[in-house]
């Protein structure tokens, strides 16, 4: 194992990516950007998974990453389909204007 | 199932067929009858009682009777074991022949009578339902099955009294019948519980066997049981003090009055007492009570029948009175005579009601005797059949009512001084019976028509056919007793016949009863024959005893004041307002109000703004994370996390330490 990049850096990068995802999710109004923010958060988690897997020489973490990627792919397919359907009906991509379900 | 060997063949009585046929008729007409063509509804409705009647006839052979058939266990609790069982013996056979035979004739009559009614299929489905429950009641092998039939006929009666439920009077008459019957049923139920507690079984034959095993057992708890059963019987059979529902039950269609409220259902109480005769025989006190109730009801109802102007109500009071005779017969232990009168009464009273229905039909719905008159020539077949029934109920020699009434009166007379009083009441009632029946006869059929603008017309043959058949039975139905054959037939079930003593005494009693009957006719003739008839104009108030009679002794008013009003008061104000409204309703409102109040606050969260949800989610996650970091020892809160850390042999204090552990 190469020691030139310490473990902490990976984790810090992962945390930074995750926070960027959260900020994007909370602040952006365009639903596609929100979607991309979710992907960003998932990938931040993936990064910490592979980091620990590498650190502990355990394959479990890497398998988990595949699961997460698979779910993310499925989510992307379904989510984009929903977005297209919503856009057709509402003619907008702003999440603030998709609020028909509230009381 | 009981297997009966007969010429080497195995014979099943197939008793279940008897109630099954009307049940099928009820299901077909009740579920899809409205969508079926009328001829099919009629076919189904008529086939059901016909099939039942045929099944009864097939079972009416000495090789079958007595038969007991069990169709599985109903209740099996510790020592308590109750089966679905049907039993056929001589008593239930007689009853079944009456129920299904007269029932079939009345079904035919109904085809003509109800022809134009929009509820045609509903009517016949109810009628078949009644037959199903009535045959169940009669065939029951234990008290509980009998109770099912007992309640079921009450239900059918309720449905048919309120058949024209758009009429308020009909709907409330149905309710009245049901509620009054409930009071009686309550007594019956208590009796059943006593039976269970003291005998440990509800099967008729087993109760009889246990009683037979201890011949010294009389009175005591048996009296209590008998009196409870008697309360049930007075409810169903409209005896004092629970008779009040039967006159109101005349709101139902006339064939219903004939079948349920004259010929069959109301006799269930008499049947029940005869069925339990082994109990009543052990309690002289209960028997006397039965006799007194019967005699008092007979006289009381007969006097009320004198002053009624509605043709059906006259017949209703007459039914109550005749049922009183049957109770009187049971009360002097002459059960077979009571059942005999039950049978002849079924013939002539069904005929009276059906003929009255024909009169009402002819006059286009008019039921007031004061507006009839002169119908003898216009509807001759109805007139002659009605005449046969009037003679039968008045007990003229040769007609069926003569033999059965005479048997009861003779049996009463044989009971010593107490019996002589009962006999006197019975004879007096016979005179009053003749009086009010001939009053009806004169008012309806003689003189000039008092509603000249109504064109009376004879009924169709579907109605006249049953009338003619029943007329033959009303005349000849009593002849089965010649040589005591009827009593001998019933003797295995109800015990030997009670006789007055030597034949000359019986003939003397007979002569007295017949003479009194003729006197009744004579009085009716003097008062109501066309020439001397005086009908008070509308609006005149009756006076004296007549006023008491017209108002039916104010019994309904007394019951209203003493029972109905207090009950209604308690139900409406104490139970309705205080218990239901304040306590239960208040609790419900408190619970619901709390939830609604909480919801009104919490619903602000549901903003519909996706980013606000996400912010709450993130805030929640941050809070948990912060908590884990600050609390220091998360294992108390997050056991699975602790578990994970244990497995991997790492310290579990903080996340940052985890990263160090690998090195």
Domains along chain A?
Answer: 7-90 (1.10.287.3510)
- Among B609, B618, B659, beta carbon nearest to A7: B659
Q: How far apart are CA A83 and CA B327, in angstroms?
A: 85
Residue count of chain A: 103
With b meaning 16 or more CB within 10 Å and e meaning fewer, what string describes B177-209? bbebbebbbebbbbbbebbeebbebbbbbebbe
- Chain A residues touching residue B662 (CB < 8 angstroms): 7, 55-56
**B140 neighbors B87 (Cβ within 8 angstroms):** yes
The answer to whether B656 faces chain A, any CB pair under 8 Å, is no
The answer to whether B166 faces chain A, any CB pair under 8 Å, is no
Residue B6 pLDDT > 90: no
Mean pLDDT of chain B, nearest integer: 86
Among chain B residues, CA nearest to A22? B618
- Mind telling me how many Å the CA of B591 is from chain A's nearest CA? 22
Determine how many CB atoms are found less than 10 A away from the CB of residue B549: 16
Question: Helices B503-528 and B400-413: crossing angle, nearest 10°?
Answer: 120
Tell me what pLDDT residue B613 has.
83
Q: Do B662 and A11 touch (CB under 8 A)?
A: no
- Mind telling me how many Å the CA of A101 is from chain B's nearest CA? 6
Residue B221 pLDDT > 80: yes
Q: Residue B326 is encoded by which pair of tokens?
A: 């049957």
- Chain B residues touching residue A25 (CB < 8 angstroms): 611, 614, 618
The answer to whether B604 faces chain A, any CB pair under 8 Å, is no
Tell me what pLDDT residue A2 has.
54
Give Cα separations from B488 to B120, B336, B445 (angstroms).
43, 9, 40
- Chain A residues touching residue B609 (CB < 8 angstroms): 95-96, 99, 102
Give Cα separations from B64 to B57, B68, B362, B454, B487 (angstroms).
11, 10, 45, 54, 19
Q: How do residues B49-94 score in pLDDT, each as one tens digit?
A: 999 999 998 888 777 778 888 888 888 888 888 889 999 989 999 9
- Chain B residues touching residue A98 (CB < 8 angstroms): 610
**B265 neighbors B184 (Cβ within 8 angstroms):** no
Residue B205 pLDDT > 80: yes
Q: What percent of chain A has pLDDT over 90?
A: 57
Q: How many CA atoms lie within 13 A of B414 on its CB side?
A: 21
- DSSP, collapsed to helix, strand or coil, labels residue B175 as helix
Determine how many CB atoms are found less than 10 A away from the CB of residue B20: 17
The answer to whether B662 faces chain A, any CB pair under 8 Å, is yes
Task: Average the pLDDT over B495-503 and give the result.
Answer: 72
Determine how many CB atoms are found less than 10 A away from the CB of residue B565: 11
Give Cα separations from B520 to B89, B475, B516 (angstroms).
39, 20, 6
Q: What percent of chain B has pLDDT over 70?
A: 92
- Mind telling me how many Å the CA of A83 is from chain B's nearest CA? 14
Of A2-16, B8-22, B131-145, B584-598, give the lowest mean pLDDT range. B8-22
Beta strands B4-6; B9-11: pairing state: antiparallel
Tell me what pLDDT residue B655 has.
46
Tell me what pLDDT residue B109 has.
93
Phi, psi dihedral angles at A102 (to 5 degrees): -75, 165
Q: Residue B513 is encoded by which pair of tokens?
A: 């009863």
Of B120-134, B425-439, B577-591, B620-634, give the lowest mean pLDDT range. B620-634
The answer to whether A94 faces chain B, any CB pair under 8 Å, is no
- Among A7, A11, A99, beta carbon nearest to B609: A99
Q: How do residues B287-338 score in pLDDT, each as one tens digit?
A: 999 999 999 999 999 999 888 889 999 999 999 999 999 999 999 988 989 9
Give Cα separations from B287 to B406, B415, B448, B559 (angstroms).
20, 12, 49, 27
DSSP B74: E
Among chain B residues, CA nearest to A38? B614
pLDDT range class, residue B635, cuts 50, 70, 90: low
Of residues B444, B261, B430, B270, the one with CA closest to residue B353: B261
Q: How do residues B233-284 score in pLDDT, each as one tens digit?
A: 999 999 988 999 999 999 889 999 999 888 899 999 999 999 999 999 989 9
The answer to whether B610 faces chain A, any CB pair under 8 Å, is yes
Rg of chain B over CA atoms, in angstroms?
34
The answer to whether B607 faces chain A, any CB pair under 8 Å, is yes
The answer to whether B612 faces chain A, any CB pair under 8 Å, is no
Of residues B328, B463, B493, B303, the one with CA closest to residue B406: B328
Question: Helices B416-445 and B311-331: crossing angle, nearest 10°?
Answer: 160
Determine how many CB atoms are found less than 10 A away from the CB of residue B436: 25
- Mind telling me how many Å the CA of B587 is from chain A's nearest CA? 28
Q: Do A99 and B614 touch (CB under 8 A)?
A: no
Residue B558 pLDDT > 90: no
- DSSP, collapsed to helix, strand or coil, labels residue B70 as strand
Among chain A residues, CA nearest to B602? A103
**B214 neighbors B279 (Cβ within 8 angstroms):** no
Tell me what pLDDT residue B481 has.
82
Tell me what pLDDT residue A102 has.
61
| Beta strand segments in B448-520, E | none
| Beta strand segments in B137-295, E | none
| Residue where the block lists tokens 């019948």 | B177
- Could you tell me the pTM of the whole model? 0.76
Between B331 and B456, residue with greater pLDDT: B331
Tell me what pLDDT residue B632 has.
67
Q: How do residues B394-442 score in pLDDT, each as one tens digit?
A: 989 889 999 999 889 988 988 888 889 999 999 999 999 999 999 999 9
Q: What is the ipTM of this complex?
A: 0.80
Residue B654 pLDDT > 60: no
Residue A3 pLDDT > 80: no
pLDDT range class, residue B149, cuts 50, 70, 90: very high
Tell me what pLDDT residue A101 has.
64
Residue B634 pLDDT > 80: no
Q: Do B659 and A96 touch (CB under 8 A)?
A: no
Chain B contacts in chain A segment 44-73 (CB below 8 A): 55-56
Q: Do B610 and A95 touch (CB under 8 A)?
A: yes
Give Cα separations from B581 to A54, B564, B568, B574 (angstroms).
71, 22, 16, 9
Give Cα separations from B350 to A102, B272, B359, B388 (angstroms).
70, 21, 14, 12
The answer to whether A1 faces chain B, any CB pair under 8 Å, is no
Q: How far apart are CA B581 and CA B293, in angstroms?
A: 42
pLDDT range class, residue B590, cuts 50, 70, 90: very high
| Residue where the block lists tokens 């039993």 | B87
Q: How far apart are CA B426 and CA A103, in angstroms?
A: 80
- Mind telling me how many Å the CA of B612 is from chain A's nearest CA? 8
Residue B526 pLDDT > 90: no
Residue B8 pLDDT > 50: no
Tell me what pLDDT residue B134 has.
95
Q: How do residues B374-387 score in pLDDT, each as one tens digit?
A: 888 888 899 999 99
Residue count of chain B: 663
- Chain B residues touching residue A34 (CB < 8 angstroms): 610
- Chain A residues touching residue B602 (CB < 8 angstroms): none
| Paired strand residues for B591 | none
Determine how many CB atoms are found less than 10 A away from the CB of residue A94: 12
Q: What percent of chain B has pLDDT over 90?
A: 49
- Give A89: exposed, middle or buried? Use CB within 10 Å, 0-12, 13-18, 19+: exposed
Among chain B residues, CA nearest to A9? B659
Tell me what pLDDT residue B135 has.
94
**B348 neighbors B386 (Cβ within 8 angstroms):** no
- Chain B residues touching residue A96 (CB < 8 angstroms): 609-611
Task: Average the pLDDT over B478-484 and give the result.
Answer: 82
| Paired strand residues for B368 | B310
Please enumerate in sequence order all residues whose Cβ is within 8 A of that of B32, keeping only pairs 6 or more positions apart, or say none: none
Task: Average the pLDDT over B164-193 and give the result.
Answer: 92
pLDDT range class, residue B536, cuts 50, 70, 90: low
The answer to whether B615 faces chain A, any CB pair under 8 Å, is yes
The answer to whether B606 faces chain A, any CB pair under 8 Å, is yes
Q: Do B607 and A96 touch (CB under 8 A)?
A: no
- Mind telling me how many Å the CA of A103 is from chain B's nearest CA? 7
């Amino acid at each position: 194992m190469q020691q030139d990049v310490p473990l902490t850096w990976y984790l810090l990068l992962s945390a930074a990516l995750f926070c960027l995802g959260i900020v994007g999710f909370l602040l952006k109004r365009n639903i596609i950007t929100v979607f991309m923010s979710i992907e960003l958060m998932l990938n931040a988690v993936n990064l910490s998974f592979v980091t620990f897997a590498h650190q502990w020489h355990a394959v479990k973490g890497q398998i988990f990453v595949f699961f997460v990627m698979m779910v993310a792919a499925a989510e992307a397919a379904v989510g984009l389909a929903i977005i297209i359907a919503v856009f057709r009906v509402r003619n907008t991509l702003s999440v603030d204007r998709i609020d028909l379900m509230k009381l | 199932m009981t297997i009966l060997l007969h010429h080497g063949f195995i014979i099943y009585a197939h008793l279940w067929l008897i109630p099954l046929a009307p049940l099928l008729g009820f299901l077909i007409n009740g579920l899809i009858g409205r969508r079926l063509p009328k001829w099919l509804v009629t076919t189904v409705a008529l086939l059901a009682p016909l099939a039942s009647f045929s099944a009864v006839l097939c079972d009416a052979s000495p090789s079958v009777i007595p038969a007991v058939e069990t169709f599985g266990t109903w209740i099996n609790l510790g020592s308590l074991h109750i089966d679905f069982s049907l039993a056929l013996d001589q008593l239930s056979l007689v009853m079944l022949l009456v129920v299904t035979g007269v029932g079939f004739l009345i079904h035919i009559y109904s085809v003509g009578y109800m022809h134009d009614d929009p509820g045609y299929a509903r009517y016949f489905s109810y009628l078949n339902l009644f037959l199903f429950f009535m045959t169940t009641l009669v065939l029951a092998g234990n008290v509980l099955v009998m109770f099912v039939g007992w309640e079921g006929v009450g239900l059918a009666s309720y449905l048919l009294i309120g058949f024209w439920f758009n009429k308020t009077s009909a709907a409330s008459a149905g309710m009245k019948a049901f509620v009054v019957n409930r009071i009686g049923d309550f007594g019956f139920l208590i009796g059943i519980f006593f039976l269970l507690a003291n005998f440990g079984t509800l099967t008729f034959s087993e109760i009889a066997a246990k009683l037979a095993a201890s011949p010294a057992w009389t009175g005591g708890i048996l009296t209590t049981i008998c009196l409870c059963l008697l309360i049930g019987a007075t409810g169903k059979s409209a005896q004092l003090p629970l008779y009040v529902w039967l006159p109101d039950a005349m709101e139902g269609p006339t064939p219903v009055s004939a079948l349920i409220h004259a010929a069959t259902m109301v006799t269930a109480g008499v049947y029940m007492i005869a069925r339990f005769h082994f109990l009543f025989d052990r309690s002289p006190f209960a028997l006397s009570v039965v006799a007194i109730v019967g005699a008092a009801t007979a006289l009381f109802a007969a006097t009320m029948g004198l002053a009624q102007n509605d043709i059906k109500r006259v017949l209703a009071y007459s039914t109550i009175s005749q049922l009183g005779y049957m109770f009187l017969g049971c009360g002097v232990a002459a059960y077979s005579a009571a059942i005999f009168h039950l049978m002849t009464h079924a013939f002539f009273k069904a005929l009276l009601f059906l003929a009255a229905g024909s009169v009402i039909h002819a006059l286009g719905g008019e039921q007031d005797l004061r507006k009839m008159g002169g119908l003898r020539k216009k509807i001759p077949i109805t007139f002659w059949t009605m005449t046969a029934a009037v003679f039968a109920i008045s007990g003229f020699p040769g007609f069926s009512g003569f033999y059965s009434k005479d048997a009861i009166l003779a049996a009463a007379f044989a009971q010593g001084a107490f019996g002589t009083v009962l006999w006197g009441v019975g004879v007096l009632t016979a005179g009053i019976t003749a009086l009010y029946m001939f009053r009806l006869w004169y008012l309806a059929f003689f003189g000039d028509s008092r509603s000249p603008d109504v064109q009376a017309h004879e009924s169709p043959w579907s109605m006249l056919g049953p009338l003619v058949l029943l007329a033959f039975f009303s005349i000849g139905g009593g002849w089965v007793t010649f040589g005591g054959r009827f009593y001998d037939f019933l003797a295995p079930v109800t015990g030997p016949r009670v006789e007055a003593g030597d034949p000359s005494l019986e003939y003397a009693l007979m002569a007295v009863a017949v003479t009194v009957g003729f006197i009744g006719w004579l009085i009716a003739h003097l008062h109501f024959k066309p020439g001397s008839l005086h009908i008070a104009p509308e609006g005149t108030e009756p006076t004296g005893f007549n006023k008491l009679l017209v108002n039916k002794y104010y019994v309904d008013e007394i019951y209203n004041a003493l029972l109905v009003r207090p009950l209604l008061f308690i139900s409406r104000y104490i139970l309705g307002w205080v218990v239901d409204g304040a306590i239960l309703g208040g609790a419900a409102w408190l619970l619901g109000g709390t939830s609604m109040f909480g919801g009104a606050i919490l619903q602000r969260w549901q903003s519909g703004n996706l980013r606000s949800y996400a912010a709450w989610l993130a805030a929640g996650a941050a809070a948990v994370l912060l908590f884990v970091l600050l609390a220091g020892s998360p294992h108390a809160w997050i056991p699975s996390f602790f578990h994970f850390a244990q497995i991997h042999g790492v310290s579990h204090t903080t996340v940052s330490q985890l990263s160090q552990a690998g090195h």
